[in-house]
Structure 1
Amino acid sequence: MPPKKKSKPASKDAADVKRPVLASPNWPPLQPLLPESDLVLEERVPSQIVTIRNFFTAKLCRDYVAFLSALPLVTTPGKPKKGDAVRVNDRFQIEDAIFAERLWSGTSLKRLVCGPDGDDDPELRTKLTGLWGGEVVGLNPNIRIYRYRKGQFFNKHYDDANNVVIPGHPSTPAKTTWTLLIYLSSPITGCLGGETVFHPEPEPTRKRSKTEPPPEPYVVDLEVGLALLHRHGAQCMLHEGREVLEGEKWVIRSDLCVRR
């Protein structure tokens, strides 16, 4: 997929945006979780969209929604800055490397994304490294919490890639390559609408007639505990968060980071 032109709307969740320093929340434990053997990386659109069903259990989602509801969420302005996509939601954003590491290593995410440790399956590890755009070293410490209430949405946009540093001994220079979204709500919890919709572009080598319709959008429905990974940066697919029709849509957001 070719790089996007400057006129295209982009997400402004860049890690280098200056934000006030906040104290890290006392995040609830990431328990209970399903065993890794019960989880599967499902590549829904090759090299573009990957999901993990039941990454969070229903109980863990309920615990987190109750906790996140008490955070000081800020409503984004209805009129965006020039070049930004229209987004209306409530959000909480914080640099929290400890929680990012818990999400990465304290769940099955690291092993699912990177494959088995050691030389058990080098072919799989090589394939996964190619999929993610490099050696994945962790999650973006920039943690974002989104709440979409009835009537709130996120218009069509692309997610930017960013250079970040993964704290450690020593710290690791990295860059983000895939967006991670963890859905905590769905129609089962009373949330209607709010689907994430991707809009594929026509193949550049294929000429399309004026009367031919554009490619069908790919819709990811909300599922409690679903982890959605999608490629971002120069190869990001145009996508949107549809308007929530009833209830509340809760999402935890970070990004996969590869060594640079």
Structure 2
Amino acid sequence: KFSHSHRAPSRRSPHMSARVAPSRPMPRHRRVAPTATSTRAPAVAPSLPSLARDVERRRREDAAPNVVRVLENEIIVVDDALSRATCEEIIRTIEDGNGFAHATSRGPKYGEAWRSNGRYAREDETFARALWDAVDGKRTFEFELDDASGFNPNIRVYKYAGDTGDHFGPHVDERVTVRGRRSG
């Protein structure tokens, strides 16, 4: 999520940046290639009509999202932000386009978490705004930033296939500034 840089800072520690969280090492046979890869560029954006339906559903029910704080002001889960149908539609749209590119990392030796998973990546302001509205972002995130204004338009959707051992090791994302707004 973003806040305007001239406003109150996040309650997160100001020195926090991307880093690998401690974890058990991956078995040797599951280690991934030594360079980061992404094999395909996305061609389509996820559909917005289903997000609009979720916004309307939430407004009709006047329901606040179910927010679970896993780590205070660091990790939160908005458990019921999108309906199952919306999630399935987003996945189907991505798969019907160019699909999920395979993403790997160089690992902790290079300050990166082990990862091997499908990744959809797209810069999309419209989708970010629709997602913010669907989760009722202002109300959902007011506990941390009273000036929160939206999600990063650098959209990522990850897919983990259990049968192939896909994973993304524990890590902390870095703060970024995009178009004058700072992530919290």
Report the TM-score when normalising by structure 1. 0.47
Structure 1: distance between partners of 2:76 and 2:110: 31
Amino acid at match of 1:62: E
Structure 2: distance between partners of 1:22 and 1:153: 21
Identity of matched residues, % = 22
Higher strand proportion (structure 1 or 2): 1
Structure 2: distance between partners of 1:149 and 1:84: 21
User: Residues 4 and 112 of structure 1: is their aligned pair in 2 closer, same or farther, counting only changes over 3 Å?
Assistant: closer
SS in 1 for 2:96: coil
SS in 2 for 1:99: helix
8 Å CA contact 1:22, 1:94 repeated in 2? yes
Q: How many residues align?
A: 144
Structure 2: distance between partners of 1:158 and 1:138: 20
Q: 1:3-14, aligned counterparts within 5 Å?
A: 3=15, 8-9=19-20
Amino acid at match of 1:25: A
User: Residues 101 and 5 of structure 1: is their aligned pair in 2 closer, same or farther, counting only changes over 3 Å?
Assistant: closer
User: Residues 84 and 67 of structure 1: is their aligned pair in 2 closer, same or farther, counting only changes over 3 Å?
Assistant: same
Deviation at 1:84, TM superposition (A): 1.3
Structure 2: distance between partners of 1:48 and 1:91: 23
Q: 1:78-157, aligned counterparts within 5 Å?
A: 79-80=106-107, 82-105=110-133, 107-113=134-140, 128=142, 131-132=144-145, 135-150=147-162, 151-157=165-171
User: Residues 75 and 102 of structure 1: is their aligned pair in 2 closer, same or farther, counting only changes over 3 Å?
Assistant: same
Amino acid at match of 1:92: Y
Deviation at 1:28, TM superposition (A): 4.4
User: Residues 85 and 95 of structure 1: is their aligned pair in 2 closer, same or farther, counting only changes over 3 Å?
Assistant: same
SS in 2 for 1:63: helix
SS in 2 for 1:35: helix
Deviation at 1:161, TM superposition (A): 0.6
> Which of the residues 53, 57, 61 maps onto 1:32?
53
Higher helix proportion (structure 1 or 2): 2
Deviation at 1:142, TM superposition (A): 0.3
Report the TM-score when normalising by structure 2. 0.63
Amino acid at match of 1:147: K
Deviation at 1:153, TM superposition (A): 0.5
Q: Which residue of 2 aligns with 1:51?
A: 77
User: Residues 47 and 83 of structure 1: is their aligned pair in 2 closer, same or farther, counting only changes over 3 Å?
Assistant: closer
Cα root mean square deviation, aligned? 3.1
Unaligned runs of 5+ in 1: 11-19, 115-127, 166-172, 178-260
